[in-house]
Amino acid sequence: MIVFNEAEKIFTLFTPHTCYQMKVDAQDRLLHTWYGRRPENAADCPDFSETRVTHLDPGCWPDLLPLEYSAPGVGDNRVPAVVPEYADGTEAAELLYAGYSIQKGKYALPGLPAFRASDEAESLCITLRDAAGLETALWYAVYADCDVITRAAVFTNRGGAPLTLRKAGSFCLDMPGWPLDLLTLDGAWAGERTVHRAPLRPGEQTIGSVKGVPGHGHSPSAVLCTPDATETGGECWGVTLVYSGSFALTAEQCEAGTRIVGGVHPYHFAWTLAPGETFATPEAAFVYSDTGLGEMSRRFHRAIRAHLLPPRWTRRDRKRPVLINSWEAFYFDFDEERLMELARAARRAGIDLFVLDDGWFVGRKAETTSLGDWRADPEKLPDGLPGLCRRMNEIGMELGIWVEPEAISPDSDLFRAHPDWALVIPGRRPFEIRNQYTLDFSRPEVVDGIWQQLDAMLSSCPIRYLKWDMNRGLATVYSAALPAARQGEVYHRYVLGVYELQRRLTEAYPDLLVENCAGGGARFDCGMLYYTPQIWTSDNTDARARLSIQYGTSMIYPCETMGAHFSSIPNHCTGHLSSMDARMALALSGTFGFELDLTKYSEEELAQLTPFIDWFHAHNALLRSGELYRLTPPTADNLGAAWCFAAPDAGEAAVFCVGSALAGRGERCPRLALRGLDENAVYEDEEGRRYTGFALQTFGLPLPGTMGQTPAAKWYLRRVE
């Protein structure tokens, strides 16, 4: 619900449990006054701004005011949200209130993914104007069903001369100077989205990427929380960007309090607006919780499921297949007969889908060649993809395929025909990473050319799954299609080109299950999830490493979006040994699949996999739509963690515990207390044992105390009384 008090010029955005409030002051500045727990009445909200201007003249101290959206050059000396450069070279703007509108439904951001409209959604647009010509429309949408507020900014040049946006932030949020912790999701290849939390210190603290993708190093999300915040208590303010390119999130603590701004990274960003032209920023989604990090995450999860993921993949009756990927089994060394041998072994275990990874296209025997030539290699697949697909279908398997649409090899037919399609700075040596260049997706003709190849491939036979990979960051970024003065648009236009190709792909083939990937988890963000329901979480499939990777990812993203596979030991990334139960627990908690050579398994070993596959199918709806409760975080050495999925009505739960927490000593019997259940109900496990909900949430489940390499256990509980 959105309410405007016209007499006092106060805007209030209500969700069931939160409240976001702004007001227009006497100088027509838009001030942020409250974001937190919802009071009974809008008039009862505290006013942040009053604490900033006590005994001061507010007209003289703009950098002490909680501005709803900030610009430089006129007295606010904190990190700005937008930086316009006018034709005379000035970089200054005083954004003053000019009007508002409230509408039913969700605002639109053409060409950009965003949380989808719902019947309950309402949108607010507040217009701010600078006298020199920059008009800023601040858009807000309220989702009453999941306690989420989204924001975006749309800029219009109302002046008579061109202006250039040197920075275009999606949001600015000013808060009081309370002690706060900053929580970010950081890491590296094979160790993405590990939780890092530290007290917010004075000055600016920035996470971001200038790679053209969010990268392995930082997720485009951040959380500010009170120092006492835990899974079950404390205040948390979370934000995530719906964007898949270079980004920056900056938290600044200064004498005025705390500010956080975020959006497209300002490096190599310069967007020129002719008179009358507009530019829309990516969307940002906000969640507040006064009951800890766990509830903050669940609110993000509900919103992503209900309003971001492709609706056709969120229906409870729409099961996703259990797949096997060929990469860790064969790498590039395979032919059709080896593929069929693996497929037959997988089918005997109960696996539904065979995914042919890298190496299937013409001339591709190593990483050095052929990216961009998306035609089957006749030496490996004599009858092409249609022939392989036919043979797979004959044994009851569906076929999936791997592609890397944004890449081009110097040794490829596509590069020989269109060398200008690669990103390269004139007069400089092209920069190869992994023996490849990046295609200039800022150019529509390049997007068209790759689309024609993908469309021909997908229409040739019933391919059911596509893994879209992207294995490098952008470099030597220059587009031959744009003049020198507009090269600052290339990074963002590149992302728009990726979105356009994903839009065409998913609209033309609505039943095609697409999984995004970027060298593992370098592009795990809400922008990608708008088009595809899952993303490969990390190239590291080791169960121990996945404890922290999937734990951190779950801070924002629901577990059913996380590509997670059972793989061989020793693990190909880490060399670790983990038990079958531990590897299964992490895989079952994501999309569930396999990444190993099952032709080396005996019939008895294959039969050991089948009960896990049957268990996944039996509880698919719960694992995909259950509320996640992180029961114990990963230990410092990644040797233990526990979590559960509870149905929203508390009617059932799936519980997982991995690692050292299981190892009882002597007569001690460690136990695991659950959450998300009905304390007044009785639950039964798969062995017929019964427990009260109260006992499960206080005394807990008895852990078996197994020993060995990363022991693990799982339970399914069903309410019976």
- Backbone phi, psi, residue 199, to 5°: -60, 140
| Token pair for 87 | 């034709």
How far apart (Å, rounded) are the C-alpha atoms in residues 22 and 24? Answer: 7
Q: How many CB atoms lie within 10 A of CB 669?
A: 10
- Residue of 318, 324, 327 lying closest to 392 (CA atoms): 324
Say how far apart CA 492 and CA 489 lie, in whole Å: 6
Q: How far apart are CA 240 and CA 214, in angstroms?
A: 12
Contact predicate 580/588, CB 8 Å: no
DSSP 39: P
**Bridge-based pairing state of the strands 203-209 and 247-254:** antiparallel
- Give which of 591, 579, 697, 568 is closest to 639, Cα–Cα: 579
Give me the residue label for tokens 């079958």.
580
Q: Among 563, 719, 721, 699, which residue's Cα sits nearest to residue 647?
A: 719
Q: How far apart are CA 172 and CA 513, in angstroms?
A: 36
63 flagged as catalytic = no
Choose, from 469, 525, 542, 581, the residue flagged as catalytic: 469
Crossing angle of helices 490-508 and 444-459, in 10° steps, is 20
Half-sphere exposure of 169 toward its Cβ, with a 13 Å CA cutoff?
20
Six-digit token string for 705: 């105390």
Catalytic residue among 130, 539, 542, 581: 539
DSSP character string of 423-462: ---TTS----BTTBEEB-TTSHHHHHHHHHHHHHHHHTTT
Cα angle, residue 586 at apex, residues 146 and 668 outer, rounded to 5°: 105
Determine the number of helices (DSSP H) and then strands (DSSP E) in the chain: 14, 39
Active site residue 290: no
How far is the C-alpha of 333 from the C-alpha of 403, rounded, in Å? 17
Catalytic annotation, residues:
469, 539
